[in-house]
Amino acid sequence: MIKAILFDLDNTLIDFLKMKRMAIEEAVEAMIDAGLKLDKKQAVELIYELYKEKGMEDQEIFQKFLLRSTGKVEIRIIAKAILAYRRVRDGYLAPYPRVRETLHELKMKRYKLGIVTDAPQLNAWMRLCSMHIDHLFDVVVTFDDTKECKPSGLPFQKALEKLELSAGECLMVGDWPERDIAGAKAVGMKACFAKYGCARTIENHGADFVLHSFEELLEIIGKEKL
């Protein structure tokens, strides 16, 4: 019997990729206004190339971008970029539709709730607090807790340890089959594919259930009597 539901954070609770793209574009425009001699499209593409190399959570991405594109780092341009990025990020960061209501209903049904994310600890908590849903989770497992990324079993096992539950008593919800679904299934959890948050076409997701919208989770739990 399922007693707890674990969630990935980015693109499962938050439309992270859309927010990221909007914030990066605004930052690039600010750098161009500050004197950067580079086409906007080229600049955005270069930043995303760096993200692929360094990871989407890189805190010095604009410094590395300027160094690669111009050969030097100008602090004034960096400041403009960071301010523009934060302005968009802070204004946009919000959960997918019906996330808050669904989480509240799950709590009413006495399910324990948790987060298993590859994001650094501070970043994860800032996102949860910004959306005003931090109080709804019994456990939050981040990269800092195990120094391992999904699909490693360590983050999932850490969540089970904190919840004091077995793998068979937990359901994992995530948008990334190769990490969220594969990792959860490997340790013995049931898994739910958050299709609404996946930008790719996935044929073989390997999940037990599929969500086309977040609130469908309540229907799945009701029908399957988890």
| Ordered structural domains, the chain, with CATH | 4-15+95-224 (3.40.50.1000), 17-92 (1.10.150.520)
Closest CA to 136 of 16, 9, 224, 1: 9
Provide the strand spans (E) within the chain.
4-7, 112-116, 139-141, 170-174, 190-194, 209-211
Summarize pLDDT for 133-183 with one digit per residue, the tens: 999 999 999 999 999 999 999 999 999 999 999 999 999 999 999 999 999
* Cβ contacts of 69 within 8 Å, gap of 6 or more: 36, 38, 43, 46
Summarize pLDDT for 191-205 with one digit per residue, the tens: 999 999 987 877 789
> With 90 as the cut, is the pLDDT of residue 39 above it?
yes
> With 60 as the cut, is the pLDDT of residue 42 above it?
yes
Q: What is the pLDDT of residue 188?
A: 97
Q: What is the pLDDT of residue 18?
A: 85
Residue 191, helix vs strand vs coil: strand
Q: In degrees to the nearest 10, what's the CA dihedral of 150, 155, 160, 166?
A: 40
d(CA 135, CA 182): 28
